[in-house]
Chain A
Amino acid sequence: MPFKVEPRAETSRAVVYATPVLAVLLTVISGYFLFLLLGLSPAKTLYHFLVSPTLSFYGWSELCVKAGPLVLIATGLAIGFRANVWNIGAEGQLTLGAIAAGGVALAFWNDSGLWILPLMCLAGILGGMIYAAIPAFLKTRFDVSEILTSLMLTYVATLGLGILVYGPWRDPQGYNFPQTRMFSDSALLPLILDGTRMHVGILVTLFVAVAAWILMTRAVIGFQVKVVGQAPLAARFGGFSGKRTVWLSFLLSGGASGLAGTFEAAGPVGQLVPHLTPGYGFTAIIVAFLGRLHPLGIIAAGFLMAISYNGGEIAQVEDRLPQAATGVFQGMLLFYLLACDFLSRYRLRRAARREVTPS
């Protein structure tokens, strides 16, 4: 082996916060060459990709609509990630939340009243929590890797939603399209501003982010989560149960994801469809890490990811950029972020060659 990996003695705080910026820069540079290879004009495509979405007020409102669910899910996930609990299945919990909330909306389709939306939110949160409880149970009872179970359950959830919208819940007047009826007005989130798609869910998300920030910095529970993540033995010494922390992490992140699913169904989409989101549950993992697991960082990272979604759409229209490019962009970002993180903690050194000297 010509190289070997060594831990660095110290990682400065500045480096920790600089790595996301560096990762974004590297992604842009790689994107430049990627677009060049695709035969596009790289500068123009990058402009459409990264700048165009921010040029109008409506553009910003659309960024809020996209960033909202990302931030909400990432905030929940970040709590678990701090405790070294790896919930990769937010997409599935989101789907279950949407199914539960959608079920309420369809059940009371003929009714109206202010109580329907809160009931949907409650159902959505519970749906996400119950679905997240499965990996939590398997982890705490049988020590099954939560990474695998939560990830795989995502596909089960998506198929489950498919069964419902292709089958019993299909809109009778929907010309056989696989979708439910449009929710009644009582089951749709009120808009904050006319002429935009910004809904009250975004305000709730902001509230949740602030609440999470207080929880993590001021509450004993936040302290518990951090201790369990950083030093499991110290957690045991402090009387903090690792299993309870797994449950707490999954229930909080599952609940947040379920609520995000509710907001999508009752917000921009307005009904249940087979693919409710462009993979917010997975993108939120990147958002959580890009935001350094800090609620305020997560809000910034959520907007960056929203730009990549909306910019990707603009570039599709303007430059005929393939749809997959958005996914590639997000993947590169996570890759560079992890690489920068790794290199800020370790360094590569040329392995010392064997010396052949006579003794």
Chain B
Amino acid sequence: MHDESQTPRLVLKGISKRFQSVVANDHVGFSVAPGQVHALLGENGAGKSTLVKIIYGVLQADEGQILWNGHEVSINSPKRARELGIGMVFQHFSLFQAMTVLENIALGIDDAPDLKELAERIIAVSRKYGLPLDPTREIHTLSVGERQRVEIVRCLLQNPKLLIMDEPTSVLTPQEVGRLFVTLRQLSQEGCSILYISHKLQEIKELCHHATVLRGGRVVGECDPAIETARGMAQLMIGTELKQLVRRAGTITDEPRLIVSNLSLRSDQPFGVDLKGISFQVGAGEIFGIAGVAGNGQNELTEALAGEVVLHSPSTIRLDGKPIAHLNAEQRRMQGLCSVPEERNGHASVGDMTLAENTLLSARNRMGLTFKGFIRKGDARAFARQVIEDFGVKAPGPGSNAATLSGGNLQKFIVGREVLQSPEVLVIAQPTWGVDAGAAAAIHQALFKLAQSGAAIVVVSQDLDELLVVTDRLAVINGGTLSPALATADATIEQIGLLMGGLHGLDQVDGTARRESRDAV
């Protein structure tokens, strides 16, 4: 276990970093003891990512000191950080899809030995830490959890003294999370410090020895997560009392508004996922969740539902009985199906255009913002203003560019734009991805309200907690196949977790035994 009396492994003193007018870090300071699992807790935009990028040498601080084992150091590049013994597993992996695990690791480490020796070391490390990995597999055949293992093993090969993990569990099934924690505890016992970035409070309580809470770029508190309650930490993180969601009364009817029957779609992307025989129904007033680990066909399914990919057989998707699968996104919107894509910038909105112009993207016909092929600028501005006001979007006005809004505000604007069109069916992907808690609550409330008015809503999300709060029923997508739907109230985390992992491949420890993987599903 960690020992607080030793010289701290890492000390930050008065670290500040500014980007133009934004202060990302404002005199941040804390210390990490050897072997300590130290949580860095904060909402999106609190400055966590900037801070760890400074520690890993990707960014340089404007002010402040970094002490490494008691000596002041300047970390001017990730290479320097690795020389010191700092490793980092990023939230977004940097792996070449078409190359093997071995080749990817060889490319990613400094002074790589010859491949044969490296392969032996990879196997040795993966055995030691319970991270089964076959060096000869190509990355695109691995699940997301396995890809993360590649990144972790790459770090461990360099014997780090501090391992930084940026939101490592957002892509894992509950079972995979459990196994990751075993590995991290083992590392901690061997004296490796871990800086663990997350906003998932339960995990932090379970794993971490100490937590530093950031808000608006400053340290607003430190606590022992084992003692502090999750609610207490959340309030520290958000800065205000958490608002309780108003759960709507059960108004679900049996009448299905959206019927998807046997939707199969071959992906045209090189490493895309084929959809296989997906069927489900959503009733009026119902919120239907689609859970799953990233990269299991969610994007493909969302696009097929929204009409961004057009299907051949019209009756594959029916809205109030009308076949709509052969229509494009705008034609489906005219039939009553609105959608919110996962990516806010460049997909759900155009960054370089004003909010008023962005309303034209999806509301031009439903809200009558055009007339005989010409834009009614006044009406577009008025609709944008209505969205801004009704959804509490913090923006100077309809004339501001979408790119100037913060993630949460832009998301509120986009959700508001669709909800105010009162669609019969709403398909929404990752409704609160990277959004602060206040905006998330507002978005959830809007979904409840829309459902209450009789709309059918499909929520595709990787955030299981969100789905458990929001949905009435949910199904799990794995390798392009959708599980039967469960009533959310009856579903257990373990049950969903097993479905997310595809019910197989979870317990084998020998790396070579996992060849069946996703293609075999």
Contacts and interface: CB of A to CB of B under 8 A. Distances in A.
A230 B362 CA distance: 16
A223 interface: yes
A236 to B, nearest CB: 5
Contacts of A9: 19-20
B350 interface: yes
Nearest to B308: A236
B350 A231 contact: yes
B341 A237 contact: yes
Contacts of A226: 350, 353
A234 B361 contact: yes
A219 B360 CA distance: 11
B142 to A, nearest CB: 26
A359 B83 contact: yes
Interface string B36-73: 00000000000000000000000000000000000001
In this complex, the member of B73, B341, B347, B364 whose beta carbon has the largest number of chain A beta carbons within 10 angstroms is B347
Interface in A225-279: 226-227, 230-231, 233-234, 236-241
A355 interface: yes
Contacts of B20: 9-10
B347 A237 contact: yes
A88 to B, nearest CB: 25
B421 to A, nearest CB: 13
Nearest to B77: A352
A223 B357 contact: yes
A221 interface: yes
B521 interface: no
Given A234-B346, A234-B361, A218 B374 contact: yes
B386 interface: no
Interface in B96-113: none
A193 interface: no
Contact of A223 (B74, B352, B375): B375
Contacts of B19: 9
B304 to A, nearest CB: 12
A230 B308 contact: no
Interface of A: 9-10, 218-221, 223, 226-227, 230-231, 233-234, 236-241, 352, 354-355, 359
A237 B76 contact: no
Interface in B340-378: 341, 343, 346-353, 357, 360-362, 364, 370, 373-375, 377
B170 interface: no
A221 to B, nearest CB: 7
A234 B347 contact: yes
Given A220-B374, A221-B373, A355-B76, A233 B346 contact: yes
A239 B333 contact: yes
Contacts of B357: 223
Contacts of B349: 231, 234
A220 B370 contact: yes
In this complex, the member of A223, A230, A239, A240 whose beta carbon has the largest number of chain B beta carbons within 10 angstroms is A239
Interface of B: 19-20, 73-74, 76-77, 79-80, 83-84, 306-308, 328-331, 333, 339, 341, 343, 346-353, 357, 360-362, 364, 370, 373-375, 377
B350 A227 contact: yes
B329 A236 contact: yes
A218 B347 contact: no
Contacts of A236: 308, 329
A220 B364 CA distance: 9
A4 to B, nearest CB: 12
A83 to B, nearest CB: 13
Contact of A239 (B331, B348, B377): B331
B293 to A, nearest CB: 23
Contacts of A355: 74, 76, 80
Contacts of B347: 231, 233-234, 237
B306 A237 contact: yes
A237 B373 contact: no
Contacts of B352: 230
Given A9-B20, A226-B353, A237-B348, A218 B362 contact: no
Nearest to A214: B374
Contacts of B306: 237
A219 B80 CA distance: 54
A168 to B, nearest CB: 43
Contacts of B373: 219-221
A231 B346 CA distance: 5
A74 B377 CA distance: 27
B375 A233 contact: no
In the complex, the 7 A-B pairs of residues with the closest C-beta atoms, listed nearest first: A239-B330, A233-B347, A238-B361, A239-B329, A231-B346, A231-B350, A236-B308
Nearest to B327: A239
Contacts of B329: 236-239
Nearest to B332: A239
Contacts of A238: 329-330, 360-362
Contacts of B84: 359
A237 B360 contact: no
Contacts of B341: 233, 237
B382 to A, nearest CB: 17
A109 B414 CA distance: 62
Given A231-B347, A355-B80, A237 B308 contact: yes
Contacts of A239: 307, 328-331, 333
A220 B369 CA distance: 10
B360 A223 contact: yes
B336 to A, nearest CB: 14
Contacts of B375: 218-220, 223
B73 A230 contact: no
A221 B343 CA distance: 24
Contacts of B361: 227, 234, 237-238
Given A231-B351, A234-B346, 13 more contacts: A218-B375, A219-B373, A219-B375, A223-B357, A223-B360, A231-B346, A233-B341, A237-B348, A238-B330, A240-B330, A352-B76, A354-B79, A359-B84
A230 B331 contact: no
A223 B349 CA distance: 13
A76 to B, nearest CB: 19
A142 to B, nearest CB: 15
Nearest to B75: A355
A246 to B, nearest CB: 16
A233 B343 contact: yes
B319 to A, nearest CB: 16
Contacts of A354: 79
A241 B373 CA distance: 16
A238 B377 CA distance: 17
26 contacts: A9-B19, A9-B20, A10-B20, A219-B373, A219-B374, A221-B373, A223-B360, A227-B353, A227-B361, A230-B350, A231-B346, A231-B347, A231-B349, A233-B346, A233-B347, A234-B347, A237-B306, A237-B361, A239-B307, A239-B333, A241-B328, A352-B77, A355-B74, A355-B76, A359-B83, A359-B84
